[in-house]
Structure 1
Amino acid sequence: MMSLKRYNLAAVLLLLLGGYGSAQAAIAPDRTRLVFRGEDKSISVDLKNANSKLPYLAQSWVEDEKGVKITSPLIVVPPVQRIEPSAIGQVKIQGMPALASLPQDRETLFYYNVREIPPQSDKPNTLQIALQTRIKVFYRPQALSKIDMQHPWQYKITLQRQGNGYQVSNPTGYYVVLSNASNRMDGTPARGFSPLVIAPKKQCDAGRGRQ
């Protein structure tokens, strides 16, 4: 029999999630996530060359949610640039007319990628590695730009026990990451709950609980 016990959720926008790969990279963006609002024509991203001795090429592109490289509805310019030692370059992610065809009641997820290309070494038998950083880009329609402080969207996220597991429902238009959950009555952690990311207006299972 399904238990209808409800739990509090530690829910935050996915925009709080960081990218990966930037810690050891010479070329890294100045942010760990990006929000492209419906009213924006473009957004700028600074790229810092942390190497104080060598220039690097920075190759940039955008992927869709499935990781497929795209040139619409978002595009990066310039796609390749040279960044001098300790210098800062900049790219723009520009919106194309096809943005109007995206859902306007929820966020759409994209990825911005930047790959560093080191200068060719003059030493023989040298292995060079081109590191890549990938961060999330959220297209946020104008309909989601205003947040109702009287009725916070976070309170709409629900977690219900189903047998030995949990079901999470996200009826909002935002991407959400759930880090943990606890019993609403006594604060007891929901045992077996696994952190997860849930897309707008979706439901998904969240681990298996233990009796």
Structure 2
Amino acid sequence: MRCLKLCFTVLTLTLVGTVSLAAKAGIVMSGTRIVYPAQQREVSIKLTNEDEKFPRLVQAWIDNGDDKISAEKSNVPFILTPPVFRVESSKSQVMRLVYTKEPLATDKETLFWLNVLEVPPKVGNESDSQLRFAFRIRTKLFFRPENLAIKPENAPSKLEWSLVKVGVGYALQVNNPTPYYISFQSVALALADKKFKSDDYTMVEPNGVQQYSLKNTPSALGNGAQVEFSIVDDYGAFVPLTASLKP
């Protein structure tokens, strides 16, 4: 069925590492996550339009986890400027993010999300039938209080892993006793020369517990198993780590 004048589709992308797209977005953000230290006056976020021909119109806003909330209804303790702007081809724009000092937890991180909606340019005549894709990027924004109990780079080593029976298989259970959100790029159980991976690894929150189901595990596991996992650090890099299972 042909579109009359215009079909407009929004694609939402959640950034955890690298993103590959069949339809090309023009706007690229520096980094895949944002950390806002509580003591910092503001944080800068750089966006670049990598399209060499056309400009992009961008709208940006913060939400507290509800991906359906509009920019107008979002209620968060941050000011993001400019909220709407145009980025010329092959040019960049820096947004300023300022914490407005409303009370947040002081003993652990608080998670917010940055939304960047890229509106595509009009190509050709207005009367032409077109399919235009608007790319909405959603990336994590961590508000980090001062003087937390441990440094962020030491948090992954504090994770406590155990193997739990789930139905006819097993799952890796992780307990996070730290004040940081920890994001995983991979989670697997290594046993002898075999590796049993999980497909449902997600972020674990401060003082939280998560289970990651394992694929094709045997009905009984011997001794010597350990956890091999990769976390995403503050700079978006993947850091491979290993850990022993708790008895």
Q: Kindly tell me: are residues 126 and 153 of structure 1, through their superposed partners in 2, closer, same or farther at Cα, counting changes over 3 Å?
A: closer
CA distance in 2, matches of 1:113, 1:31: 14
Deviation at 1:81, TM superposition (A): 0.6
Question: Counterpart of 1:201?
Answer: 207
CA deviations 1:161-185 (Å, max 9, x no partner) are 22233321101011113422446xx
Question: Counterpart of 2:131?
Answer: 127
The percentage of counterpart residues that share the same residue type is 28
Q: Is the 8 A contact 2:61 2:80 kept in 1?
A: yes
Question: Counterpart of 2:17?
Answer: 18
Q: Which runs of 5+ in 1 are unaligned?
A: 1-15
Q: Is the 8 A contact 1:65 1:111 kept in 2?
A: yes
CA distance in 2, matches of 1:39, 1:66: 26
Query: What SS does the corresponding residue of 1:155 show, helix, strand or coil?
Result: helix
Alignment partner of 1:102 out of 90, 104, 122:
104
Question: Counterpart of 2:44?
Answer: 44
Question: Counterpart of 1:180?
Answer: 187
Q: Kindly tell me: are residues 126 and 161 of structure 1, through their superposed partners in 2, closer, same or farther at Cα, counting changes over 3 Å?
A: closer
Question: Counterpart of 2:142?
Answer: 138
CA deviations 1:103-162 (Å, max 9, x no partner) are 11111111111111233334222222211212111111112396288xx33232111122
Q: TM-score, normalised by structure 1?
A: 0.77
Q: Kindly tell me: are residues 138 and 92 of structure 1, through their superposed partners in 2, closer, same or farther at Cα, counting changes over 3 Å?
A: same
Amino acid corresponding to residue 180 of structure 2 in structure 1: Y
Q: Is the 8 A contact 2:58 2:117 kept in 1?
A: yes
Mapping of 1:27-106 within 5 angstroms? 27-67=27-67, 68=69, 69=71, 70-98=74-102, 101-106=103-108
CA distance in 2, matches of 1:201, 1:176: 11
Q: Which runs of 5+ in 2 are unaligned?
A: 1-14, 220-247
Q: Kindly tell me: are residues 26 and 97 of structure 1, through their superposed partners in 2, closer, same or farther at Cα, counting changes over 3 Å?
A: same
* RMSD (Å), alpha carbons: 2.8
Q: Kindly tell me: are residues 44 and 127 of structure 1, through their superposed partners in 2, closer, same or farther at Cα, counting changes over 3 Å?
A: same
CA deviations 1:65-119 (Å, max 9, x no partner) are 2334524212311110111111111111111121xx2111111111111111233
Question: Counterpart of 2:196?
Answer: 191
Q: Is the 8 A contact 1:192 1:210 kept in 2?
A: no
